[in-house]
Amino acid sequence: MSKNYYIIPIFISHQGCPHQCVFCNQDRIAGKYEEVFAEDVRNTIEEYLSTINKGATVEVSFFGGTFTAISVAKQKELLEVAREYKQKGLINKIRLSTRPDAISPYILSYLKEYCVDIIELGVQSLNDEVLRKSGRGHSVEHVEKASKLIKEAGFTLGHQIMPGLPGDNFEIDIESAKKSIAMKPDICRIYPSLVIKDTPMEDMYNRGDYKPYSLDEAVYISAEMLKLYNEAKVKVIRIGLQPTDTITTGKDIVDGPFHPAFRELVEGYLICESLKEKAPQEKDIIIEINEKDISKLYTNRKYYFNKFLNSRNSKTYVHTNNKIKKGRLKLTVIEKVEEFKI
């Protein structure tokens, strides 16, 4: 997200959800248990606006994943405040996340009335058996219908995908990404599944009925999914669950591929895989990269970069060069090095 783009988060914890997804303890993820009222929304917006520079793009986001499943009266109560700030020009966008089976033409009609811009669907998987094992309570068909309605109504459509759910494997995860892309979302989030305390998935894990992906597996699968979304020009706005005071290793995360800079791992892995493909093993090379991208190349204590070096039989030189655009890399193959008397 741009440094001039700010999100004001409003967490609607667990309200309205008629199901118990095996991976979910939304209260722990959100870090908040209380019911949210209009005044809470107003106070949160005011608090954030007091710290945001004028001229920035500001978005109010209703997180929690079940927004349109709460009562219509509660939705309108909260949206009314956000709409007020948008109409005054104090914020620019309104976003919400919800379930695929909580979308209808009627719901979309009043979301449009309240100036909502972005609707993200908790898709999680596009395999009906995985959805069943995960206790999602919706089907692939629900996702397809909701996505179509959202696109037709002119909203920005987001998909949230969770590789590594019960019953998942690499092939199923990649197929989910392909099916998601076919529905033409504008944006996507990739959240590799984690075992969180006090969830049914923790019980499954403790019984030996569920094993999360390793960090290496999750990075590889997420990287392959990212490539597919990038090729389809779907913007992946997040990879990996955002760390909080409780969502971190040793606290509420029991097991799973958590890393506080998970996206950087994925991007670093992809950089090193590209270098493997393009750099001749037997020839010396020079890598030039913008200093703002060097952390990606060297991510996870140079784990992927060292694997790249170990695959080579020649020298590798790395130079930072800020003339190289951020997000790009220059590779020079040294064809000939000659030493001579002068």
Q: Kindly report, residue by residue over 253-281, the tens digit of the pLDDT.
A: 999 999 999 999 999 999 999 999 999 99
Rg of the chain over Cα atoms, rounded to whole angstroms, equals 22
Q: Kindly report, residue by residue over 281-292, the tens digit of the pLDDT.
A: 999 999 999 999
Q: How confident is the model at residue 149 (pLDDT cuts 50, 70, 90)?
A: very high
Tell me the β-bridge partners of 253. Answer: 196, 249
Q: Kindly report, residue by residue over 187-202, the tens digit of the pLDDT.
A: 999 999 999 998 999 9
Which tokens belong to 159? 């998909």
Share of the chain above pLDDT 90, in %: 83
Stretch (H or E) spanning 329: strand 329-333
**Confidence check: pLDDT of 33 > 80:** no
Yes or no: say if 194 and 164 are a contact pair by the CB < 8 Å rule.
no
Phi, psi of 329 (to 5 degrees): -145, 145
**Across the chain, which distance is largest between two alpha carbons, in Å?**
86
pLDDT given for residue 201 in this prediction: 93
Q: How confident is the model at residue 19 (pLDDT cuts 50, 70, 90)?
A: low
Least trusted range by pLDDT, from 7-16, 99-108, 222-231: 7-16
Find the mean pLDDT for residues 324-329. 95
pLDDT given for residue 14 in this prediction: 62
Find the mean pLDDT for residues 237-250. 85
Find the mean pLDDT for residues 209-236. 98
Phi, psi of 261 (to 5 degrees): -125, 55
Yes or no: say if 183 and 221 are a contact pair by the CB < 8 Å rule.
no
Q: How confident is the model at residue 338 (pLDDT cuts 50, 70, 90)?
A: confident
Share of the chain above pLDDT 70, in %: 94
Domains and CATH numbers, the chain: 5-260 (3.20.20.70), 278-333 (no CATH)
